């Protein structure tokens, strides 16, 4: 579902000669460039020549269309291969570059003294990572790096707006980063509320009840504070108990120095799921990621994810991935390495593992246009490989409605970054990737789509076949000319589903605080998916894997349709929630009992 196909990549034929190609004398040609840094970034100073860069080089994946075909077949409940997920070795073979690409890139690196022992390769050999000083990177890429500063946050990164490669390399290298990528990849939290004084936890002890979306009675307190009990009541899973021994696992990711505090987790378990008290998760460090346990280092995002994700699915074993790597670089002090954004590092790691959690949730992202298409395309391809291996990947849809990172719809500057500076809606990535399940947010009972729920249409990826009918049905309901020119109606539409996303009762630094955002809704929906995988594994069936073909063909019938609300931004009211799929709430929130019956009826 890429706008640019990888089919039929030409390969340079003049590689038969045993002599090394004289790359240093070759004519360089621009490989990638952007008009300028995204809004908020400005050039500050020249990059120090000794500053170390960790460059990741992506080699083409000529067999990706074959991998994609496998993904569609094993994820389609009506296909005879449904659930026949691929192994690590099979996906590696389908992601591997052509041998000619490996050879010529190796020769190019060797011409700069970078021998095999100094290279780090991904499991499929489709990524090569090197550590070089800015001075050498500038020679290799015929570019000039600068330190760019962000006006709002003060953070700095070392980047360029254009780089070049010898023309002979262009068909053998998809991209090199960090070069032109200015994405900040923030956690999707709309608002955070807490005081210096500990607050009394709000638990579901009220004698009053209200009618939930499944027609059952729900504690009235759930309209003011969301707890584990509230979510199980709302989404109809009170009677379901997961297993600790059937091989099912739940995975959560953390980036940007977000640490999950274990004392906070145990306090949360005591308050909201006493049976889980004393249990823990498996911590996995990726690229040197840490999980600092000092109270001062506790992260609201990481606490939210682990407390609700592992609290809802206990006793299912949980895995918490902490991936190092973030853009900020302080040019006033010596910093040894300016790292790339962390998704590619996480993908490198998980795709190299023979066994993975069946469900993984991520609550991070950024404006799609801040991520170069080439990079977004490759990260998205990695998500496709995970789906083909039977992993359900869920992402928060974003916290700015149809707009940018400014939480105030009235002040959002929704301008394109292509030099035209036209007003347009700003979709979020990775939510816009067609191989992931994007989760929007709701509020209150009865449920309404919350105003910050990210949604819209990708400018990078075309609409996948699985959502053609549902999205066209929505588009026909829009008045002719509505938001014409502000969005790409042929693009991948998101979110796919939604869940509660306001007033989650989280323990942070020993205090109970309310948290809002699609950061709440993604681990919530993922937890119910993990329960469904638990049931299928107990019944000796395959895990669900990539969810969207199921959701758009049958699964939507077991979701609570959200018909009220809209997601304003860019000086507009945004899209509206309505009957059926919509770009605010997707198909709606889970009714676990209905979903359970459906997934157990699948082969």
CA distances from 393 to 199, 527, 602 (A): 34, 12, 20
Residue positions forming the annotated binding site? 561-562, 580, 582
Set 146, 225, 237, 519: catalytic member: 519
The H-assigned helical ranges of 224-364 are 228-234, 262-272, 300-313, 343-351
- At 366, list the tokens: 């950024």
Two structure tokens written together for 345: 């590092």
Length of the chain: 603
Specify binding-site residues for Ca(2+): 561-562, 580, 582
Contact 566, 584 (CB under 8 A): yes
Kindly report whether the peptide bond that precedes residue 194 is cis, defined as omega within 30 degrees of 0: no
Tens-digit pLDDT profile for residues 432-491 = 999 999 999 999 999 999 999 999 999 999 999 999 999 999 999 999 999 999 999 999
Q: What is the pLDDT of residues 65-101, one digit of tens each?
A: 999 999 999 999 999 999 999 999 999 999 999 999 9
- Please choose, from the candidates 296, 266, 247, the residue with its C-alpha nearest in 3D space to the C-alpha of residue 507: 266
Q: Give the number of other Cβ atoms within 10 Å of residue 200's Cβ.
A: 6
Phi, psi of 453 (to 5 degrees): -60, 115
Query: 305, 341, 399, 447: which one is catalytic?
Result: 305
Asked if 37 and 159 count as a contact pair (C-beta separation under 8 A), the reply is yes
Residue 407, pLDDT score: 57
Phi-psi region of 525 (alpha: psi -120 to 50; beta: other; left: phi over 0): alpha
Residues 229, 172: Cα–Cα separation, whole Å: 53
pTM: predicted TM-score of the whole model, two decimal places: 0.91
Active-site residue identified among 301, 366, 367, 516: 301
Which residues in the chain show pLDDT less than 50? 2-21, 190-205, 327-339
Give the domain ranges of the chain: 23-61+96-182, 235-278+291-330+355-379+392-601
From the list 255, 304, 278, 238, the residue with the least C-alpha distance to 528 is: 238
Which CATH fold would you assign to the domain 235-278+291-330+355-379+392-601?
A: Rossmann fold (3.40.50)
DSSP codes of every residue in 44-80: EEEPPTT-EEEEEEEPP-TTHHHHHHHHHHHH-TTST
In this structure, what token pair is assigned to residue 514?
Answer: 């309310």
Residue 40: predicted pLDDT: 83
Reading the block at residue 231, the tokens are 């979510």
Rounded CA separation 127/146 (Å): 25
Please state, as a whole number, how many other Cβ atoms lie within 10 Å of the Cβ of residue 164. Answer: 18
Q: Is 301 a catalytic residue?
A: yes
Q: Please indicate whether residue 363 is annotated as part of the active site.
A: no
pLDDT (0 to 100) of residue 25 = 67
Non-local CB neighbours of 169 within 8 Å, separated by 6+ positions: 23, 104, 105, 108
Q: Positive or negative CA dihedral for 356, 362, 365, 368?
A: positive
CA 76, CA 547: separation in Å to the nearest integer? 9
């Amino acid at each position: 579902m890429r706008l640019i196909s990888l089919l039929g990549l030409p390969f340079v034929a003049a590689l038969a000669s045993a002599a090394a190609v004289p790359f240093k004398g070759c004519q360089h040609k621009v490989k990638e460039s952007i008009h300028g840094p995204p809004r908020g970034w400005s050039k500050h100073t020249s990059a120090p020549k000794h500053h170390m860069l960790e460059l990741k080089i992506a080699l083409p994946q000529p067999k990706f269309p074959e991998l994609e075909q496998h993904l569609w077949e094993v994820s389609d409940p009506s296909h005879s291969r449904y659930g026949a997920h691929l192994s690590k070795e099979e996906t590696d073979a389908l992601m591997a570059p052509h041998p000619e690409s490996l050879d010529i890139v190796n020769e190019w690196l060797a011409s700069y003294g970078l021998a095999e022992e100094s290279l780090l390769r991904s499991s499929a050999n489709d990524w090569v990572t090197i550590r070089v000083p800015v001075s050498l990177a500038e020679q290799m890429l015929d570019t000039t790096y600068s330190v760019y500063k962000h006006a709002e946050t003060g953070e700095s990164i070392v980047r360029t707006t254009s780089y070049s490669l010898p023309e002979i390399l262009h068909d053998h290298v998809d991209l090199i980063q960090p070069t032109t990528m200015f994405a900040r990849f923030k956690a999707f939290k709309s608002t955070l509320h807490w005081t210096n004084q500990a607050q009394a936890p709000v638990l579901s002890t009220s004698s009053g009840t209200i009618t939930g979306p499944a027609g059952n009675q729900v504690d009235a307190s759930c309209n003011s504070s969301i707890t584990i009990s509230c979510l199980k009541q709302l989404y109809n899973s009170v009677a379901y108990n997961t297993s600790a021994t059937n091989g099912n696992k739940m995975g959560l990711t953390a980036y940007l120095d977000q640490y999950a505090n274990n004392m906070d987790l145990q306090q949360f378990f005591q308050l909201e799921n006493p049976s889980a008290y004393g249990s823990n998760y498996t911590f996995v460090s990726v690229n040197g990621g840490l999980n600092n346990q000092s109270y001062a280092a506790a992260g609201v995002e990481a606490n939210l994810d682990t407390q609700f994700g592992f609290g809802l699915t206990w006793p299912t074993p949980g895995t918490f991935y902490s991936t190092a790597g973030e853009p900020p670089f302080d040019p006033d002090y010596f910093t040894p390495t300016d790292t790339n954004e962390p998704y590619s590092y996480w993908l490198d790691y998980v795709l190299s593992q023979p066994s993975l959690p069946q469900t993984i949730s991520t609550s991070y992202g950024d404006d799609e246009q801040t991520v170069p298409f080439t990079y977004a395309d490759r990260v998205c391809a990695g998500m496709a490989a995970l789906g083909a291996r039977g992993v359900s990947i869920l992402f928060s849809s974003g916290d700015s409605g149809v707009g940018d990172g400014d939480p105030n719809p009235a002040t959002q500057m929704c301008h394109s970054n292509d030099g035209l500076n036209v007003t347009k809606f700003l979709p979020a990535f990775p939510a816009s990737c067609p191989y992931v399940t994007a989760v929007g947010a709701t509020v209150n009972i009865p449920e309404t789509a919350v105003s910050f729920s990210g949604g819209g249409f990708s400018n990078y990826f075309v609409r996948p076949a699985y959502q053609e009918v549902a999205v066209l049905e929505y588009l026909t309901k829009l008045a002719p000319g509505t938001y014409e020119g502000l969005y790409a109606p042929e693009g991948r539409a998101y979110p796919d589903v939604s869940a509660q996303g306001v007033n989650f009762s989280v323990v942070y630094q020993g205090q109970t605080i309310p948290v809002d955002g699609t950061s709440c809704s993604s681990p919530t929906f993922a937890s119910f998916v993990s329960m469904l995988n638990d049931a299928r594994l107990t019944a000796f069936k395959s895990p669900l894997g990539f969810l969207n073909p199921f959701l758009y063909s049958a699964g939507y019938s077991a979701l609570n349709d959200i018909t009220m609300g809209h997601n304003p931004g860019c000086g507009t009211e945004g899209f509206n929630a309505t009957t059926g799929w919509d770009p605010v709430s997707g198909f709606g929130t889970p009714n676990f009992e209905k979903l359970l019956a459906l997934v157990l009826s699948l082969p």
